[in-house]
Amino acid sequence: MQSKFEEHLLRIHSVLLSYHHPPYSHSKSINTGTIQGFWYIVRYNTPRSQKKTAKNSLRFTDYNKMASVATLNNGNKMPLVGLGCWKIPNETCAQQIYDAISVGYRVFDGAEDYGNEKEVGEGIRNAIKDGLVKREELCVVSKLWNSYHHPKNVKLALKRTLSDMGLDYLDLFYIHFPIALKPVSFEEKYPPGLYTGEADAKAGVLSEEPVPILDTYRALEECVEEGLIKSIGVSNFSGSLMLDLLRGARIPPAALQIELHPYLTQERYVKWVQSKGVQVVAYSSFGPQSFVDIGSEVAKATPPLFEHAVVKKIADKHGVSTSQVLLRWATQQKIAVIPKSSKKERLRQNLLVDQEVTLTESEIKEISGLNKNLRFNDPFTWSEKTPFPIFD
C-alpha cells in the first residue's frame, strides 16, 4: 500500500509527464525513496505555474559545491564559474537566465552595452519569485559603458541599469574600458555603443571626453558607500593603469576582467594582479570562438581552441569535453570564467568543471604553451580615424 508521500510523488510525476519535460517525459520510473531526486524533479521540471508553494518548499543549498568560490578582497563571495550574458538574444535571454539559475549558476556577468539587461533582470526576478534562489545568493554583475565616465553620469548610468534589471543593487560593477567617450543621452540612443553623435557617425570618428579614469572611479566609490554596488571592478585595464589606480583608490578594485585564453595567457600580469589581492576574471575563454560571428578576420584565421590537438589530447585523457579543459585551465589557476551556453547540459558541464577534471601541472604548462599573445578584442581597431591604443 502506498504512503501519502508516494501518492503525492506519483501525482507530481503525472503532471510532469503531461508537460513533456525531459528527462522525465519518457517512461523512466522515479525512485520514491529518494527525496533529493524528488526535489530535483519538482524544482527543475515543473513549469512556473506549478510552483506556487516553492517558497515554502525545501531549499537545495548545495550549489556552491558545484563551482569553487572565491573570496574577494572586501569579503564578498563569487563563484569561479559564472554565466556570461554577452550576445544572449533578447527573445530567449530571460529563460536562459532562469534555466541557468535552476542548474545552479549564481554569477551573471552582464553589461550596459549588451542591450539585454531588462531580460537578464526578468530571468533573475522570476527565479527569485519562484523560490529557486534568494537575491543575496546571487552575484549580479554589470559594466559602466564608455559614454558615462564623467562623474555626473556614473550614477545615472548605474541607476538606469538597476531600473532595467528591476534590482536595488549590483554585486559587482566594472568600468568596461578605460576609454571615455562623449556622452549620449538615453533618449538619443541607449545603449549607445560606438556612437558619439550624428555628426561623428557621418565623419566616421568617435569623440572623446577628457575625464581621468580616477575621477570615474571616485564616483563608483561613492556608489559603494550609498549601497548601490557592493564591489568595484575594472575591465581591459593594462598593468600601468592598474598600478596607478591602486595608488589612488580609496576602495581597491575587487576584480579585473580581461581577455584571457591559451592564445593570450598574460601570465606575468595575472600573477601580479593576484598578488595585489584582486580577483582575475577571464572573458573569451574559448579564444576566437566569440569573435568569428561578429566579423573578426583575425578570429576567422585562427585555429579554434576546441579543435587544437593539445586540448583534444588532454580532454580525451580525462574523458571530458575540450571546453571543460579550457575552463579548468583557468579555474585551476584561480581565475574566474564566464562562459555561456543555451543548452542545459552544457551549462551543467561548465558549472561542474572543478569537480569533473583536475589537470596536472604539466598539462597546464602545455596548454599555456599555446600562447601567441593574440588579442581578439582590441579597441585600436574600433575606428580607423579614432584608434584607442590601450594595450600598446
- The set of catalytic residues is 114
Grid coordinates of 321: 569535453
CA 388 to chain centre: 25
Q: What is the DSSP letter of 41?
A: H
Report H helices in the chain: 4-19, 35-45, 90-103, 117-129, 151-165, 198-203, 213-225, 239-248, 267-275, 289-292, 297-300, 309-318, 322-331, 344-351, 353-356, 361-368
Whose CA is closest to 337, among 322, 321, 353, 320?
353
Whose CA is closest to 84, among 256, 290, 262, 295?
290
Which letter, b or e, does each residue of 262-301 get, where b requires 16 or more Cβ atoms within 10 Å of its Cβ?
bbbbbeebbeebeeeebbbbbbbbbbbbbbbeeebeebee
Handedness of CA 72, 75, 80, 81 (dihedral sign): negative
